Structure 1
Amino acid sequence: KKLVFGKVDIDMIAGPSEILVIADEGADPSFVAADLLSQAEHDPLASAILLTTSRSLLEEVNQELEKQCAVLPKKEIAQASIRDYGRSIVCDSISECIDFANAIAPEHLELCIGDPMAYLSGVQNAGSVFLGYYTCESIGDYFGGTNHVLPTNGTARFSSALGVDAFVKKSCFLHYSREAVIQYGHYIETMAEEEQLQAHANAVTVRLRNGK
């Protein structure tokens, strides 16, 4: 993608895979562990983060991670990812988990909680959001229909998943009448002169002086 960018447009330069799971006390620890490993097996640099309101769930998930990881064909990759870029954190509330997730802006965000719709409006920064105990990230990868090309490395703070609009080329159009230039031209002159771009200002000035 880097080689062709500039000759053609590209969607984005995506980094290592990321998943952040927010789980409450009702979540199944085997589900949560499996979902974390689904991204950890991609790359030793992949990140897999658990935010939960339940310390007991956190401990059970850690046990499940060891058990499930041990039988994975790519267990060395997954183990390195979990060891170096995995985190499990207990928060005081689901709202605090959401705030934490917005700061991280993960590629994949799972709301593995009993009432995900009650918290969805609080999610501001995430590439793709998976709602409820049964909506694992793998569904989005292979079958669910949401796009699989997603912003990583915190870029979900200002960018979005690949979509149809990424393939649409747009142009801007502008028309000012003589009267509009007379009314607003001095503002444009002032801003151009402030930037020390006198030729920019002159393009307006000649129209104010000589316009017919």
Structure 2
Amino acid sequence: MARALAVKAETGTIVLEAAKKVLRENGYSKLSTRDVAAAAGVPLSQIHYHFGSKQGMLLALFEYLNSQLLDRQAALFGEATLKLSEQWDRACDYLDDDIASGYVRVLQELIAASWADAPVAKVIRAGIMGWLDLITGLARRAEREFGGLGPFSAEEVAALVANAFIGAESHYLLGLEKKGIPVRRALRRFGDLIRIAEGSSSTR
């Protein structure tokens, strides 16, 4: 029985990795379960067995990838030995990694699909709320360390940061960096502002 469950889980993971690859190459509108099955090297029936439908497969893909990245980010923000500016720098490194892995394309494709698909929107909202909760915790830490966040609450800072990263992802996929817009460089430069704030707080 344990062996059967392990095989089932392994097949599901193979399908999800194949779905990530196909989605990255073809986009949401052109993605088909038949193409995913071919990329995974499994019968089409396996996708219906594991996920029920194309939508079910894509939602499982998002949750599969998002949970991994939330765990990664929670570990980063939990590293007490790192300054906030160092954590920001690492988060920018992670953005580069997530673009390369295809996660950014998956997220942006599903955000677009969620505008007309309520079940997709429900899952995407829950996933993004997980990120907002993490960032809010980090903003509260900054609030304590810097003695305040100016006119902003921790929740407002978290909303701005989350939108900055999601917007940067969208602009990157639109090819604006190739047009000379410093999408990711601007995010990295924000780390310099954090370093200035760290320097100011240490002299108090």
TM over 0.5: no
**Greater share of residues in strand:** 1
Which structure has the larger Rg? 1
Which TM-score band applies after superposition, normalised by the shorter structure?
under 0.3
**Greater share of residues in helix:** 2
Please give the TM-score of this superposition, normalised by the length of structure 1. Answer: 0.23
Please give the TM-score of this superposition, normalised by the length of structure 2. Answer: 0.24
